[in-house]
Structure 1
Amino acid sequence: MASAGIYFAAEFIAAAAWKDPAYSYTHHFISNLGVHGPTTAFGQFMYSPLAWVMNTGFVLFGLTALTGVVLLRGLPARRRRLYVLLAAVLAAGGVTLGFFPGSGEPADGGTDFHALGALAAFLSGNVLSILLGGAHRTLGFSRRLGTGLKIAGVYGLLSIPVYLTVASSEAGTLIGLVERGIVDPFLIGFLVLGNALRRT
């Protein structure tokens, strides 16, 4: 619950600080919120007055998600390492996003660490959601919620090729909405799952 709460709070606060022009959840990349700028990259103007809030949110979100998975009781013994590994990849992705803002200018002139961090978070977060959904019996929450987590993860994974297609085209007016289709479903799933586990 905390990991998703941290992410959404950081995103909201950083987006609210954009004034001229206002930040658009449907048009702008999520990563724009972590770029202080002002600069222009990928055809978008980036100027986030509270970039440090978003970048701190990326880091804390990843580390908190890892902590949450490590502390889970009831994970299938044979698969526990896989769950923790996926959470560690998610944490590494979040930390990388925070330390390497997505301005489109790789620090070493070659490797785009921000893109690697985003891909790691995209894949691991959604796969983790699917696996957590499949462990509903051992974790002690409803099958209905388990199905919801699986659907969220599958939807997020299917949104990745759509996002890459839109990002590589010139029709990027809804790129922010498509990108959030990758991230928001599994984060909302984390919120609901955390609440269910808290009650049990």
Structure 2
Amino acid sequence: MHVQQRLSLLTASLALGAAALTGCSQQTATPDAEQSGSNRPTSSAPAAPAGGTDDSSPSAEDESGSADAGATQQGPVRFGQTVTYPDKISIKVDPPKEFKPTEYAVTDPEPGVKHVMFVVTVVNKSEKPLDLSLMMLTVQSGNTEATEIFDPENKLEGAPSTKVQPGRESTFRVGFSVSDPNDIVMDVNPQDNFERADVTFTSK
């Protein structure tokens, strides 16, 4: 799906969602053990980006983990942890890795910014297909809003368009230009039914 089409869909859906939320309470995700879908490959490590990565940045193995299942989320969770909504939709965002965008990437031209990518895994153990095409992911770094990177050669094309069927999972990449790769906050929301509260992942 092209960026302009995705933005148009988001605008229309957010307007509908704002009306639907009037008088309704939202589901809150809580920390959980890592989940997996029936379609997860035996080896699920993503291929190396086209532009290369900085191996000095944190890896999923360095910071990954899960909080006690059933605990109540009192605030942000760390990158690498898994959170699950009451309807059994789970989200995990791996720690960021610095990378070099390719020649035709759409990114922030400001001097001094760093480019990082995240691997996002969504597991659907609910009873309905999950539409990720409207999924919202926003990032703040330091005290500034980060700019999303679109770089097809590095598989940075936003959330996938194919619905996640019950019992399955979807893994994809997102990239952002940030002012401080050591200070990142990401808000995530599937936005498929506007009944779920945001989940916040952080590097600190």
Indicate the TM-score class for this superposition, using the shorter chain for normalisation: under 0.3
Name the one with the larger strand percent.
Answer: 2
Using the size of structure 2 for normalisation, the TM-score is 0.23
TM-score (norm: length of structure 1): 0.24
Which is helix-richer, 1 or 2? 1
